[in-house]
Amino acid sequence: MARRKMIYEGKAKILYEGPEPGTIVQYFKDDATAFNNQKKATLEGKGVLNNRISEFIMIGLMRAGIPTHFIRRLNMREQLVRQVEIIPLEVICRNVAAGSLCTRLGIEEGTALPRSIIEYCYKKDELGDPLVTEDHITAFNWASPQDLDDIIALTVRINDFLTGMFAAVGIQLVDFKLEFGRLYEGDMMRIVLADEISPDSCRLWDIETQEKMDKDRFRRDLGNVTEAYTEVARRLGVIKESGTVTNIEEVMK
């Protein structure tokens, strides 16, 4: 059997050439990084959990009419996705103040925002993914005004869907990061949701206890990172009730 061609290795995922033209295999690693790669660790089972959680969310979004790059999950760590031209932006949507918003504006973490706020960061590791405005995005041609309109409309719909989905299982969606790509089909181009949605890319708090159930547990050395991701998966019904991180491979079958 021939070895697959690796297209790109990121911090938490590897992309391989897919079995058919226009497809890509997205492999979820156990690696965790934070603060622009300054903090690193391997969290056993994280890739398996994120693959499952992201699959569950992408399928839910597609059923709600949101176009995504997702085709199907292939195995414990891999999913087949459509090849898209990634727009070099991290689109952040916030419902509650946390993280860099608090640091930047001096707002107390946990403050409810008067309305959801969308921010954009230019995806450039060397620059630490700086915050940019819509003017930067269109002036430097990272996205056209029409692309941006589509991105905003999709982000608002995704926020509505995810907020409800998580609230139904006792989780508050504080904020999250999305990535979008251009999908070319013949002469047509449309903007679709790409990358992943998982506790690596969302802030998720338990509605009752306000306990953090996301990557902030790793960023802030709070411990029990994989346990928190497992609990998110369990509540969403992605893994069996009895699932624990010690037998993660077993409960994921």
Q: Which parts of this chain interact with ligand 5GP (CB under 6 A)? A: 90, 92, 98-101, 129, 175-177, 200-203, 215
Q: Tell me whether residue 92 or residue 236 sits nearer to ligand 5GP (CB atom).
A: 92
Q: Tell me whether residue 68 or residue 251 sits nearer to ligand 5GP (CB atom).
A: 68
> How buried is residue 92: exposed, middle or buried, by Cβ count under 10 Å (0-12/13-18/19+)?
buried
Q: Tell me whether residue 218 or residue 251 sits nearer to ligand 5GP (CB atom).
A: 218
User: Of all residues in this chain, which one has the CB nearest to ligand 5GP in the complex?
Assistant: 99
Q: How far is the CB of 58 from ligand 5GP (least distance, A)?
A: 15
Q: How far is the CB of 243 from ligand 5GP (least distance, A)?
A: 23
Q: How far is the CB of 134 from ligand 5GP (least distance, A)?
A: 17
Q: How far is the CB of 106 from ligand 5GP (least distance, A)?
A: 14
Q: How far is the CB of 149 from ligand 5GP (least distance, A)?
A: 22
The tokens for 152 are 């905003």
Q: Tell me whether residue 4 or residue 220 sits nearer to ligand 5GP (CB atom).
A: 220
Q: How far is the CB of 107 from ligand 5GP (least distance, A)?
A: 11
Closest CA to 95 of 167, 181, 180, 169: 167
Q: Tell me whether residue 87 or residue 101 sits nearer to ligand 5GP (CB atom).
A: 101
> Which are the contacts of 127, defined by CB distance < 8 A and separation ≥ 6?
none
Q: Tell me whether residue 148 or residue 197 sits nearer to ligand 5GP (CB atom).
A: 197
Helix crossing, 145-167 with 46-63: angle to 10°? 110
